[in-house]
Amino acid sequence: MLSASLFAAFAFMTALAVMAVLWPLSRQKVARASGEADLAVYRDQIAELSRDAAAGRLPPEQAAAARVEVARRMLAAEGAASDVSLGSGRRRRIAAAVALVFIPLLGAGLYLRLGSPALPDMPLASRLAAPPDGTDVAILVRRVEDHLAANPGDGRGYELLAPVYLKLGRTDDAVRAYGQVIALLGATAERQAALGEALVVRNEGVVGTDAARAFQSALDLDPTMAKARYFLGLAAEQDGRRQDAATLWGQMVKEAPPNAPWLPMVRAALARITPPGVSSPAPGPSAQDMADAAALTQQQRGAMIQGMVDRLQDRLNADPKDLDGWLRLARAWHVLGDDGKARAALQSARTTFAGDAEAAVRIDAAANEIGGR
């Protein structure tokens, strides 16, 4: 049953609503009073015209015309006042009856049909204690948070909560949760890549140093981790190393299964950094390839990158306007131990880009790096 105080509150709100409807209707009295004042003014004007005509201050024909015009206005004002007098009282009574009867009845009917007067209060504490129905995400998150507050060493709880934080836009909480997962359960490629992605989202799409470090850790654990490779390519693009990004993404496209779900995204990224009319660069030895090759024997290094070097050489012979390609080729020959071919690659670059001061600076820097001047 509803309490008396609740009934009183409903009655007060209904009275306010009725008053809001009836108040404008009372303004018609003002309109009627305004009409009567106009009639009084017109009567004074006729009297004034009669005095002016009698005193000779106004010609008879002008006085007659003015009286006709004032009389016309008086008739119009009298008609309006009559309409207000005859109709306004009836309209007000009808409107008042509708407001006083129909509005409360309509409100009561809607409440009885749609409302739940017997429904008890549902404070947050009782909602948290009730069995979860799977629809209130905020309640589920709060329960996991309460559990973790009591059990801070539960890494599985943090692993469950971290992606939910990310979907809810709570990026700082997501980053902290992924950090706790790694600290409690250990690093895996998936966890490091997820941490890096959360850092990128928090940084509004920029792959910062912390994110790049997380992605590199993921690649150290799983060199085939597509997410880490993609974001490292994005980091290279954002740093201005477009050729490195193209090389990394080009390798991903070459190695990808035909039905890889991430393949369209990588192809779109590769097309974004490839100038119109220029085909995507063929994958050649990257800086990581060179570092890996340096740790091998001469024969192993040759077996590892000789094929890539040959493909890069063929492409540059066909399209020599690729300064990054020539510099990578020179470094590749240097790693293979053939400094003569490294110097020849740099010389080809100088010949191709003769007169380009910026290119000359980069070529000289590469020559100093590999000792090929």
The dihedrals phi and psi of 136, each to the nearest 5 degrees, come to: -95, 95
Helix (H/G/I), strand (E/B), else coil: 283? coil
Contact 346, 369 (CB under 8 A): no
Q: Is residue 278 assigned to a domain?
A: no
Q: Are 297 and 332 in contact (CB under 8 A)?
A: no
Cβ-contact 158, 181 below 8 angstroms: yes
- pLDDT on residue 55: 76
Helix (H, G, I), strand (E, B) or coil at 51: helix
- What is residue 354's three-state secondary structure? coil
177 to 37, 75, 219: CA distances (angstroms): 79, 85, 21
> Phi, psi at residue 303, to the nearest 5°?
-65, -30
Length of the chain: 373
Task: Tell me which DSSP letter residue 280 carries.
Answer: P
Q: Are the CB atoms for 85 and 32 separated by under 8 Å?
A: yes
Could you tell me the CATH number of the domain that includes residue 215?
A: 1.25.40.10
Angle at 223 between CA 203 and CA 234, to 5 degrees: 30
Q: Are residues 201 and 159 in the same domain?
A: yes
DSSP state letter for 134? S
Residues 142 and 267 in one domain: yes
Q: Examine the domain organization and report whether 85 and 30 are in the same domain.
A: yes
Domain match, 264 and 183 both: yes
**Residue 139 in contact with residue 132, Cβ under 8 Å?**
yes
Cβ pair 191, 162 in contact under 8 A: no
Flag whether 41 is in a domain. yes
Residues 185 and 224 in one domain: yes
373 residues of the chain, pLDDT tens digit each: 445 566 566 667 776 776 666 666 555 454 455 556 666 776 777 777 777 777 777 777 777 777 777 677 767 666 555 554 545 556 666 766 666 667 666 766 676 666 666 666 655 555 545 555 545 677 888 888 888 899 999 999 999 999 999 998 899 999 999 999 999 999 999 999 999 999 999 988 889 999 999 999 999 999 999 999 999 999 998 888 888 999 999 999 888 888 889 988 999 888 888 765 444 444 444 555 555 555 555 566 555 556 677 777 878 888 788 887 888 888 878 777 788 888 888 899 899 988 888 788 888 877 877 764 4
The answer to whether the CB of 194 falls within 8 A of the CB of 178 is yes
Q: List Cα–Cα distances, 320 to 7, 271, 338, in angstroms.
A: 88, 20, 21
In whole angstroms, give the CA distance from residue 352 to residue 361: 14
Does residue 120 belong to any structural domain of this protein? no
Q: Are residues 262 and 177 in the same domain?
A: yes
Q: What is the pLDDT of residue 98?
A: 66
pTM above 0.75, yes or no: no
Query: For the chain, how long is the longest CA-to-CA vector?
Result: 134
Determine, yes or no, domain membership for 329.
Answer: yes
294 and 262 housed in the same domain: no
Query: How many other C-beta atoms can be found within 10 angstroms of the C-beta atom of residue 189?
Result: 19
Spatial distance between the Cα atoms of 318 and 181, rounded to a whole number of angstroms: 51
> Which domain CATH number covers 302?
1.25.40
Question: In this predicted structure, what is the pLDDT of residue 275?
Answer: 60
Give the model's pLDDT for residue 86.
45
Question: Is residue 271 classed exposed, middle or buried when 0-12, 13-18 and 19+ CB atoms within 10 A define those classes?
Answer: exposed
Half-sphere exposure of 258 (CA within 13 A, CB side): 0
Question: For residue 119, is it within any domain?
Answer: no
Distance CA 263, CA 279 (A): 17
203 found inside a domain: yes
Report the distance separating Cα 277 and Cα 259, nearest Å.
27
Q: Which domain holds residue 316?
A: 287-370
pLDDT, residue 372, reads 46
pLDDT score of 115: 65
Q: Please name which of 182, 178, 183, 209 lies closest in space to residue 194, comparing C-alpha atoms.
A: 178
How far is the CA of 243 from the CAs of 107, 136, 239, 270, in angstroms?
Answer: 70, 47, 11, 10
* 206 and 139 both lie in a single domain: yes
Tally of domains in the chain: 3
Residue 162 DSSP SS3: helix
Instruction: Confirm whether 281 is domain-assigned.
Output: no
